[in-house]
A and B are shown apart, each in its own frame.
Chain A
Amino acid sequence: MLKIRVMPVLLFKPPTLVKGRGFDSWRRIEVPQTAIRVYNMREVDELVLVDITASGEGRSPDLQLIDQLADDCFMPFAVGGGIRSVEDVRGLLSVGADKVVVNSAAIETPNLIDAITAEFGSQVLVVSIDFRRDAAGKATVHSHSGSRPTGLDPVAWAQEAARRGAGEILLTSIERDGNMEGYDVEMTRQVSASVSIPVIAAGGAGNYGHMVDVLENGGAAAVAAASIFHFTEQTPKEAKIYLRERGFATRLA
């Protein structure tokens, strides 16, 4: 059967990867090349690299860098950050990205989703949705690395993205990101129940139990994580063994 994917996420603020807490207090860590080589050796299921300041700084994807990084990547590789056009997507696919991740530009111009999928098919496009909850617990979508409130409801936006042709949703809880206290299982559940495309849960993984929770109770098709793989002894492979022992189908080569 289709396996649950455990996906490391690399958050990139050129020239290094960064780690934050609640999309803030960004600390610089290693350069992406190093992380990619390590993950490649560990044969992870899939890798996501997102340039988190590209949209805010009006930058397009750095094709030369992605070309280099893709050369070390013998596994599925999704790239995001600053993608605004079909041509940006074409460029990334041609240098080695297997999928692209679009966030802010899709919110600004939803038709971009239709245009990308008409040209390349749904399977290349991951629509990334970052959300915050206010004091009352109401969730709204924020773009530009969490800095711009959009007023959009995550469920409604996910449904629109799916309708327009998105292949997958990458759903990230902003306040939980980097805090390693668990995913926002309830929002994952709501979004997964509202679309028939795969939903990747992100933001908050602190231990393997959190992954079980979001898979079992959140309906996620895959779990993404950054901090736990960078800052603890936990590994994607161990995560998959843990999940398998608890009844989830994961890939163990």
Chain B
Amino acid sequence: MTKVGIIDFKTCNLDSIRRASESCGVEVIVADQPGELAGLTHVILPGVGTFARGMENLKARGLDAAIHELVAADVPCLGICLGMQLLGEVGTEGGQEIPGLGLIPGRIERLLPRRPGDRIPHIGWNEVNFRDGGPLFADIPSGRDFYFVHSYHFVTADAKDVMATTPYCGMFSSVVGREIVFGTQFHPEKSQKWGIRLLRNFFSY
């Protein structure tokens, strides 16, 4: 029986991801304490806001350690937007080096414009491309648009961890994944049909 935990670390709107997850027919709980994470089959780390504040809030509740324990116990984890970025080793907002969860090696760097059309933040619908998108993209063709709203991106240490890319400021990793830990820079809960499909795929994993 699928039981999904959405981590509430007080950085963002959980309503959308909760409703989108519920629409996939799974049981969903919202958890802001490690004690509430028992019995989960899947965990989602959402997030909007700054890397520093995100890590601060996770650590304040012991949720950083709790997430590590879940992954060690083979519970698949999906990080969304800031949540994806927090999976990395280091965030660089404000010119500082802020340690992340370190579940997928890599750094979070600011998007740098390459062409005049590259305005920052990257806001809107853009295509997600892959050759083999892995389990998240079952029945989702490459090249479909998903909704992005961010100024930073995940630079993986290992190219193998890049599952999909998106053309903007050159090209950046829009989906990363290592074993049971995944991250999407876009918001599947705001990406309508294809976003909901991706969530379903995650819950079937």
Contacts and interface: CB of A to CB of B under 8 A. Distances in A.
Interface of A: 1-5, 43, 45-46, 67, 70-71, 74-76, 93-99, 118-124, 167-168, 196-198, 221-222, 251, 253
A119 B12 CA distance: 11
Contacts of B11: 120
B62 interface: no
A4 to B, nearest CB: 8
Interface string B3-33: 0000000011111100110000000000000
Most buried by A among B48, B119, B168: B119
Given A76-B190, A98-B190, A1 B126 contact: yes
Contacts of B53: 119
Contacts of A3: 124-126, 145
Nearest to A198: B119
Contacts of B48: 93, 98, 120-121, 123-124
* Secondary structure of the A contact surface, majority rule: loop
A96 B119 contact: no
Interface residues of B, number: 39
Given A2-B124, A197-B119, A93 B13 contact: yes
Contact of A119 (B49, B120, B126, B167): B49
Which 5 A/B pairs are nearest by Cβ-Cβ distance? A96-B15, A251-B125, A3-B125, A123-B149, A123-B121
B174 to A, nearest CB: 12
Given A93-B48, A119-B53, A2 B122 contact: yes
Contacts, number: 111
B64 interface: no
Given A1-B127, A121-B48, A124-B48, 7 more contacts: A45-B125, A71-B15, A74-B20, A75-B192, A98-B187, A122-B121, A198-B123
Contacts of B120: 196-197
A242 B187 CA distance: 27
B168 A43 contact: no
A46 B192 CA distance: 11
Contacts of A196: 113, 119-120
A71 B22 CA distance: 12
B68 interface: no
A253 B123 contact: no
A45 B150 CA distance: 17
B50 interface: yes
17 contacts: A1-B168, A2-B124, A5-B125, A67-B15, A74-B19, A76-B187, A95-B13, A96-B16, A98-B149, A98-B190, A119-B53, A122-B151, A123-B123, A167-B121, A196-B119, A197-B119, A221-B123
